[in-house]
Amino acid sequence: MKKDLLKLLDLSREDIFEILDTADMLKAEQKAGKKHDFPAGKTLAMIFAKSSTRTRVSFETGIFQLGGQGIFLSNVDSQLGRGEPIEDTARVLSRYCHGIMIRTYDQDEVEKLAEFSTIPVINALTDFAHPCQVLADLMTIREHKGQLTGLKICYIGDGNNMANSIIVGGLKCGMDVACACPTGYQPDEQVLDYAKKVTDASFTLTTDPKVAAVDADIIFTDVWASMGMESEIEARKTAFAGYCVDDSIMALANDGCMVQHCLPAHREEEITAKVFEEHADEIFDEAENRLHAQKAVMYLLMK
């Protein structure tokens, strides 16, 4: 792997499978109560411009289980909130810590942080990409299905950071990907350009969720309005009418189709309560695997 995890576009298929194999190993060790082979005393600076439940708890727990410590930094806990340039923060934290995790809005901010940092930088979410989440998703799919290559992913909803990362991660692993988004809410052009170049898996972009769901092995969805889009909620409810994962969508998928949701879920909007509860075990396996996938990233980058 490279020094940092900034987006899945930067990784090779071999990089992704190395992370997944390491995550499987660390999960097995943790379940068996076995100590991880990782140097003690590592520190992870955790920068949060966007708040989170799963991201903070999984990273803080993960670095603790590896024998290190996480340091939580919100905008009010750091000089970033008072206008310090990101490049200065990068150089300061590089003198104190062994890694930086950042959850923020702008992908360029993460890229600049990595440029000026001499320690690994991990993107825990930007408006463009959510690589750690999709690594956990791929881990979960492989646990349940026993493989990735040759399966079909269907994503229904906003062409947001999740859609961007699912498309890239799925295609890099040899999975066919179909994405259904309303007009005006498509994935990023950089991602669509990448998808056009893939030769060993197929990509379909449509506005019809029922077209995307045909023969799917895994169906993904996400909230219609992500954090920072609160003013758009009513407009998005109108635009996304018909984009709910319900029984009619599931009936088009293959038998045994999984459902994945990065959470939090808005029942009866992007997914019905019935479908959510029928697939709750898969969804909360996915949530748990954030811990193991992120530990794998830290293990590989910070060891």
Point out the residues that are catalytic.
Answer: 103, 130, 133, 222, 262, 290
179-211 per-residue burial string, b: 16 or more CB within 10 A, e: under 16: bbbbeebbbbeebbebbeebeebebebeeebee
DSSP codes of every residue in 120-175:
-EEEEE-SS--HHHHHHHHHHHHHHHS--TT-EEEEES--SHHHHHHHHHHHHTT-
Contact 172, 11 (CB under 8 A): yes
Q: Which of 86, 79, 76, 125 is nearest to 105 (CA)?
A: 125
